[in-house]
Amino acid sequence: MKYSSIKGMSDIMPSEISAWQKLESTALEVFGLYGYLEIRTPIVEKTDLFVRGIGSNTMVVEKEMYSFKDISDDMLSLRPEGTASVIRAYIESGAYQAEGIAKYVYIGPMFRRERPQKGRYRQFHQIGVEAIGLSDPLIDAEQIAMGDFFFKKLGLSDFTTEINSLGCKKCRPEYNKVFGEFLKTKHARLCADCQRRILTNPLRAFDCKNPDCIAAIKEAPLIGSHLCKECSDHFLSVQKRLNQLGTKFVVNHKIVRGLDYYMRTAFEYTTDKLGSQNAIAGGGRYDGLVHDLGGPNLPGVGFAIGMERVIMLMQASNLAAAAESDMVFFALLGETAREKAIPVINSLRQDGIKIELDYDGHSLKSQMRRADKMAAHTVVIIGDEEVAKGKAVIRNMRTKEQEEVNIGDLARHFVRIEV
Ligand code: HAM
């Protein structure tokens, strides 16, 4: 039986890993500058956490969760996103009792049973941030600017920062009514999902990718002109702060987000380089979520980056090249050479030098091929002849120059790194 990975779930092989590591280390570095601390939560949670957190009328909860009963009949789900889990951990740990804002960054796999296509997978990875405890629009703007800076730091420029306000409990229902009435006038032109949305959640129609629906709602009334005074002031302040921070953005009143916990600020970073899955990151404000999940009434704002999509964008911009190898290869010819080399290799590794070696007694030619394949910068050759003289040959793989040194002096030929 030959096994393959589950549809929509991929391996990340060593040849691809350097782009992932670059993404992760840049995120921890950049978000660390803004005070975000790393948090790691379990991949499995109680299903109810996501139903309450994300909303039972969302596609994610209705159709896309991997849920199962475990042996003690608990209903569990693989996490489809990170926000609900982070808020659960924040409440459960009592972190809310500390004064001031809490800022978290997390990296990891998420699971949604969507129809796989380019940029859309069933296991995908996110880097997310959450800032809990502040309603001031400064934090919304600071976070949006931070995401923008992060993408630029990676070297990306093919993206747009789009923002919207989704209103609040006061003004959104009013707008939903107006928009719902509009949708009714287009009923016949809408897909079955959007027809259903008229009753459940009209706003979601803006997320529909069906060309007929997009055309039908082109002239729809937008939320921008239906915000209450508080939401409108908040949104204007976010924009003022973004200008102050020098972050370019566009206002797009059709950004509605697919999860129910958002209110006021919503934002996405989009690109036209990846086809229909064009959001490389998205998020917004979720005042009320901490309370809904059993905590105190505290506001929050966050966003998450889709790592696969960012890596695709890095590849399209030639920013995902593999890092140059810093590996030394030991080509060992014969048993005596191997006996002599093993303790030397051990002590060099403990000095911080990366070493791969031939374990199988292959020919020199085949060992050199392997060294080439792993892009070793140096090969150390030790054969019986060298052992007899207490010597090793060092070959620089770039210049092809060779020199003979005493085996005991090998360490001095490599950069020593303290470990
Ligand atoms: P989201 O918009 O569902 O938000 O996901 C954020 C990003 O994850 C998307 O913009 C996209 O890049 C990526 N993504 C989502 N689904 C997939 C998929 N099936 N395949 C590949 N990439 C995908 C959230 O998840 C919120 N928790 C973000 C947030 C944090 N809001 C507040 N705090």
Digit-by-digit pLDDT tens for the chain (419 residues) are: 999 999 999 999 998 999 999 999 999 999 999 999 999 999 999 999 999 999 988 899 999 999 999 999 999 999 999 999 999 999 999 999 998 899 999 999 999 999 999 999 999 999 999 999 999 999 999 999 999 999 999 999 999 999 999 999 999 999 999 999 999 999 999 999 899 989 888 988 998 888 999 999 999 999 999 999 999 999 999 999 999 999 999 999 999 998 999 999 999 999 999 998 999 999 999 999 999 999 999 999 999 999 999 999 999 988 877 666 789 999 999 999 999 999 999 999 998 999 999 998 899 999 999 999 988 999 999 998 899 999 999 999 989 999 999 998 888 887 544 44
17-171+227-316 CATH fold: BirA Bifunctional Protein; domain 2 (3.30.930)
Number of Cβ within 10 Å of residue 283's Cβ equals: 26
Q: Is 80 in the pocket of ligand 1 (CB under 6 A)?
A: no
Domain segments of the chain as ranges: 17-171+227-316, 327-413
CA nearest neighbour of 338 among 384, 403, 393, 406: 384
110: CA distance to ligand 1 center in Å?
Answer: 9
81: CA distance to ligand 1 center in Å?
Answer: 7
Number of Cβ within 10 Å of residue 157's Cβ equals: 9
Alpha carbons 205 and 227: distance in angstroms, whole number? 19
Alpha carbons 353 and 30: distance in angstroms, whole number? 29
Out of 3.30.360.10, 3.30.9.30, 1.10.1740.10, 3.40.50.800, which CATH number does the structure's domain 327-413 have? 3.40.50.800
Angle between helices 137-153 and 17-33 (to 10 degrees): 140
**What residues contact residue 295 under an 8 Å CB cut-off, 6+ apart?**
87, 90, 91, 96
305: CA distance to ligand 1 center in Å?
Answer: 6
Alpha carbons 359 and 153: distance in angstroms, whole number? 41
Q: Is 150 in the pocket of ligand 1 (CB under 6 A)?
A: no
Task: Give the 3-state secondary structure percentages of the chain, helix then strand then coil, rounded to 5.
Answer: 40, 20, 40
**Cα 154 to chain centroid, rounded:** 13
Probe ligand 1: pick from 41, 81, 112, max atoms within 8 Å of CB? 81
- Nearest residue (by CA) to ligand 1, atom 1, is 282
- Nearest residue (by CA) to ligand 1, atom 12, is 306
- Nearest residue (by CA) to ligand 1, atom 13, is 306
Q: How many residues does the chain have?
A: 419
CA nearest neighbour of 319 among 153, 119, 106: 153
Q: Is 130 in the pocket of ligand 1 (CB under 6 A)?
A: yes
304: CA distance to ligand 1 center in Å?
Answer: 6
Given a contact cutoff of 8 angstroms between Cβ atoms, the answer to whether 131 and 139 are in contact is: yes
268: CA distance to ligand 1 center in Å?
Answer: 10
243: CA distance to ligand 1 center in Å?
Answer: 26
DSSP assigned state of 323 = P
Alpha carbons 158 and 416: distance in angstroms, whole number? 40
**What residues contact residue 181 under an 8 Å CB cut-off, 6+ apart?**
none
Which of 213-220's residues contact partners 24+ apart within 8 Å by CB, and which partners?
A: 213/189, 215/189, 216/186, 216/189, 216/190, 217/182, 217/183, 217/186, 220/179, 220/182, 220/183
13: CA distance to ligand 1 center in Å?
Answer: 23
- Nearest residue (by CA) to ligand 1, atom 10, is 281
